Chains A and B, each alone.
Chain A
Amino acid sequence: MIALAFSLVGALILARFGSPPAQSHPWIFWFAAFWTLAQALLVAIALTSFRSALRERQGERQLQRVARLHQSILDSAGPMMIACDLSGRISLFNPAAERMLGYRTSEALGKLTAADLFPESEMARVGEQLAASMPALRTHPEIPIETAPSLLPYVRYVATFPASRVRGFEMRYKRRDGSTFPAMVYLSAARSSAGIVEGLVSIAVDLSATRRAEHALRESEERYRDLFENSAEMIATLSPRGRYLYVNPSWQALFGMDSPEFESLIGFESPFPPEVQAEAAALFHKALHGISVEHHPLRLQNSSGENVEVEASLSCRREESGPVSVRCIFRDVTQQNRRERRLRIQLVVSQIIAETTSIDEGLTRVLEALCGTFSCEFAALWTVDEAHHSIRPRICWCARGRSSEEFLTETQAMVLARGQGLPGMVWSLGKPCWISDVRQHPAFLRRTAARMNGYISSWAVPIRVGNQVIAVVECFSRQFMREDPDLMATVETVCNSVGQFMARAGQEARVRQLDRQKAVILNSVADGIIGVDSANRIAFANPAAARMMERTESELIGCKVHDLLHPPSSGCDATCLTRRAFQAAEGASGQDVYFRGGARSFPVEFSLMPMVEEGEPVGSVLSFRDISQRYALDHMKDEFISTVSHELRTPLTSIRGALGLLSAGLLGEVSEKATSLLRIAVANSDRLVRLINDILDLERMTSGRAPLAFRRIALDELVRQAMETMQPMAEAEDLYLASDPTSVYIEADSDRLLQVMTNLLSNAIKFSPPRSTVRIVIVHATDGVTISVIDEGRGVPADKLETIFDRFQQVDASDSRQKGGTGLGLAICRTIVHQHGGRIWAEQNGSRGAIFRFYLPERASLSSLAEEATQNQFEQKFG
């Protein structure tokens, strides 16, 4: 069996030598290369068999036969077979080695060392490669101490791996003449019978032919070179073993390496980032096995560290003998993908925002869309609580599948301060943050939970309204993701829309709440409220308004407001105050008569408020109240007061008459004391009458039932009248009345105004010393007049200047008794002046005396006119 195998090996070796060097066809090169490898393996098998033969058969004859066989194998083998001891001295050098290296066996044995057969530093270089490929074993195999340092990695290599796992590696050999050539080296250990490594045995095959074949392949690629050189796509051609044969400039630019650097790499996946190397290697093997790869997405970093997304297409060129080359084309789809993602996420988010009515539902869907687009599995939206200086999670979303329970629970329970944790950091910085590995990041607080649920990378982006951060979105991925500024820029854009959505939703919620409140108010108030547009058509009416007008709310909408309140049958004309108020779009208030059901009138108290937007009147709001009942009550009250007044006056008339006649002495002589007492009685009955009159006056004026009769009047004439009225009183007190004639016209009720002036003059006269002067001064301003009554009397203390206008508030409590006043005069004055839209006040006249001033506007206001008009209407309709 063994002899047969060996003769077969010999035949095959002969056949190898007999074959001409193949050059023209790649398959021939491949055949040659394969054949050489097969030979080397067969030789190794033969040697192993030989050793076992030695062990099995101890017979001398047999030993000799085996030695002869051994020698003939060494002599006839195609690959170089070289052995050396642990110091590196050559101990075996076969004819093939002689041929390839140019040394004779006699020159090599015992004279050359292994280092002489390689170019400088080649042993060290390959030694490092081998060292790197060895696993870090817990127990290192025993290495004899005499081993030369340069051989150490090689000895360790063969000692570590069993023969079956020893792989070939490439080394350059140096010929005697100094030229070099590449070879594939298979290394094994020469061991003693005790299994101790005693030396190294190498079998090497010249790879020059293989290299030439690859070169030829490269040259054939040159044909496409022009096409490839200028291509934006990244193109590489690799040998089936994964060696780079050609890379175009785009490919070089992608990885930041030049052609020679690629040629020195040992595998397709070598230039890729560690996290995609396995994926790249898998693609290469798929292509090599005839399954073409088309548009497979890959994520890499270019030489500048930027993220690049490519679509990889790999195909294998094959000939009968098998695969010849693998062509790999990468298309850079980074920009396209970014654009698409940006557009898609923006579209999705804008749809969500447009469709959703509930803010939380909308935000949840936004988080889901963000995760879906950017390969994340968990997202949370945190909202800033400015009032409590904290940020807390509002919504969390997790993808289905692997549990995120711990991470979710921990996230939901968190409340962070500004600058604390990832959301707090983004809030405080106001810009996005990226954490490639949350498990390692010291500032990331949820490290443990993230580790439990497998989260690795995270990014967070602020949501702003204006310059203010109102929320933060954070997303987590179970993949390692390098920082991607473009992704964050896209998410920031999306977050702007989300910010507007949140702001708008917040406002809408407030508006809805206000609307509800408004509706409740409008529906529950007893007052009728009608809103009209700028054309004075009714835009809304509350139920109370509809009830009072005896129409439905919908019937009222669109009606001309004045025609509704004052139908043509009401006979209202151009002087109608309601009409004037609506047309002038002025604020007005007062009383009026409206008509319900188009015919029946009812008294109302109304208030009209114009609505102005940006300086333009856009309508007005009318509120009104049916005061029929109140009016009926007022009427009863009037009756009552009238009756009481009558009943008080009737006995007073007899008393006053009787006392008057008696005190005048017309009915006979009365003693002096009796006369004096009668005078007191007369004065007090007069005072009682005045008191009754004043109380009635004040009551009627303050209840709004003493309408003013506005007329254009000459003020100086009125002053003259007042002075004339008071002249007898002044003369009785030995005082002078004076005024400076100023001709001024104002709109006022002359009787009432006269009452004010006589009241003030009467006060001044009462409190002035004899032979002093009381003056009336009129000062005309642009829009009104100020009338002052100035005396030289005892004056008003500073603390009483305000209160003397209140009822029964005199400077001295005894004044009413001594001076015959009622304590109501100034209160009446104030009421009348207020009814004219003016004001009244008191001042000190230097060191001596008082000044009472009142200001009256030149024109009475619309509201006081309206009140007057309503009163007149009532007097006619209900009086």
Chain B
Amino acid sequence: MSRRVLIIDDEEDIREVAALSLETVAGWDVLVAGSGAAGILKARESHPDAILLDVMMPGMDGPTTFRELRSLPETAHIPVILLTAKVQAADQKRFSDLGVVKVMFKPFDPLVLAQEIAATLGWQEI
């Protein structure tokens, strides 16, 4: 069964690379959104199995989007992985306190990204 993963990132290049990586390496179905608001909308429409969420985004940032997703009944159960370029200790601690399943750091290796996500979420397919 193909997994559906939603990537929410304001950087189009990163969206594209990440989507390509997950599609080609793991064969997952990848949805993308360029902002927090668009991401929430897409999540409510398409019920992805997991969400890769950027932190630093104009308008609604990652943590706000995450809290919003949590507050909505139809998205509250979807596991969220933060994908961030913010690597400082204070930031990391703040992120893990949010309640996300994992914080992953940019830049990532496109060949092992899918593997790490699957390992985190306990998906067996890969």
Interface contact B56-A646, CB-CB below 8 Å: yes
Q: How far is the CA of A658 from the CA of B109 in the complex (A)?
A: 9
Contacts of A862 in B (CB 8 A): none
B17 close to A (CB within 8 Å): yes
Q: How large is the interface on A (under 10, 10 to 19, 20 to 34, 35 or more residues)?
A: 20 to 34
B75 close to A (CB within 8 Å): no
CB distance from A706 to the nearest CB of B (A): 7
Q: How far is the CA of A172 from the CA of B35 in the complex (A)?
A: 156
B45 close to A (CB within 8 Å): no
Interface contact A661-B17, CB-CB below 8 Å: yes
Q: How large is the interface on B (under 10, 10 to 19, 20 to 34, 35 or more residues)?
A: 20 to 34
B107 close to A (CB within 8 Å): yes
Contacts of A648 in B (CB 8 A): 85
Interface contact A657-B108, CB-CB below 8 Å: yes
CB distance from A432 to the nearest CB of B (A): 81
CB distance from A643 to the nearest CB of B (A): 9
Interface contact A706-B110, CB-CB below 8 Å: no
Within 8 A of B (CB), among A644-666: 645-658, 660-661, 664, 666
Interface contact A664-B111, CB-CB below 8 Å: yes
A215 close to B (CB within 8 Å): no
B6 close to A (CB within 8 Å): no
Interface string of A620-663 (1 = CB under 8 A from B): 00000000000000000010011001111111111111101100
**Closest chain B residue, CB of each to CB of A639:** B88
Interface contact A656-B108, CB-CB below 8 Å: yes
Contacts of A146 in B (CB 8 A): none
CB distance from B115 to the nearest CB of A (A): 13
Say yes or no: A666-B24 contact (C-beta < 8 A), given A654-B13, A879-B90.
yes
Contacts of A649 in B (CB 8 A): 85, 87, 105-107
Interface contact B88-A645, CB-CB below 8 Å: yes
| SS class, residues of chain A in contact with chain B | helix
Interface string of A58-72 (1 = CB under 8 A from B): 000000000000000
Interface contact B107-A645, CB-CB below 8 Å: no
Interface contact B20-A667, CB-CB below 8 Å: yes
Contacts of B90 in A (CB 8 A): 638, 875, 879
Interface string of A405-428 (1 = CB under 8 A from B): 000000000000000000000000
Contacts of A7 in B (CB 8 A): none
Interface contact B24-A657, CB-CB below 8 Å: no
Within 8 A of B (CB), among A835-879: 875, 879
Q: Which of A650, A664, A666, A879 meets B85, CB within 8 Å?
A: A650
**Closest chain A residue, CB of each to CB of B15:** A654
Q: How far is the CA of A666 from the CA of B113 in the complex (A)?
A: 14
Q: How far is the CA of A645 from the CA of B90 in the complex (A)?
A: 14
Q: Which of B13, B87, B88, B107 has the most CB of A within 10 A?
A: B107
CB distance from B10 to the nearest CB of A (A): 10
Q: How far is the CA of A645 from the CA of B108 in the complex (A)?
A: 15
Say yes or no: A650-B24 contact (C-beta < 8 A), given A642-B88, A660-B111, A664-B111.
no
Q: Which residues of chain A have a CB within 8 Å of any CB of chain B? A: 638, 641-642, 645-658, 660-661, 664, 666-667, 685, 689, 693, 696, 700, 706, 875, 879
In the assembled complex, 22 residue pairs joining A and B whose CB atoms fall closer than 8 Å, in A order, are A638-B88, A645-B86, A645-B88, A646-B56, A646-B85, A647-B85, A648-B85, A649-B85, A653-B11, A653-B14, A653-B85, A654-B13, A655-B107, A656-B109, A657-B20, A657-B107, A660-B110, A661-B20, A664-B111, A689-B107, A700-B88, A706-B89
What 10 new A-B contacts, CB under 8 Å, besides A638-B88, A657-B18, A657-B107?
Answer: A645-B86, A653-B11, A654-B14, A656-B110, A657-B20, A658-B13, A660-B111, A661-B111, A664-B111, A666-B25
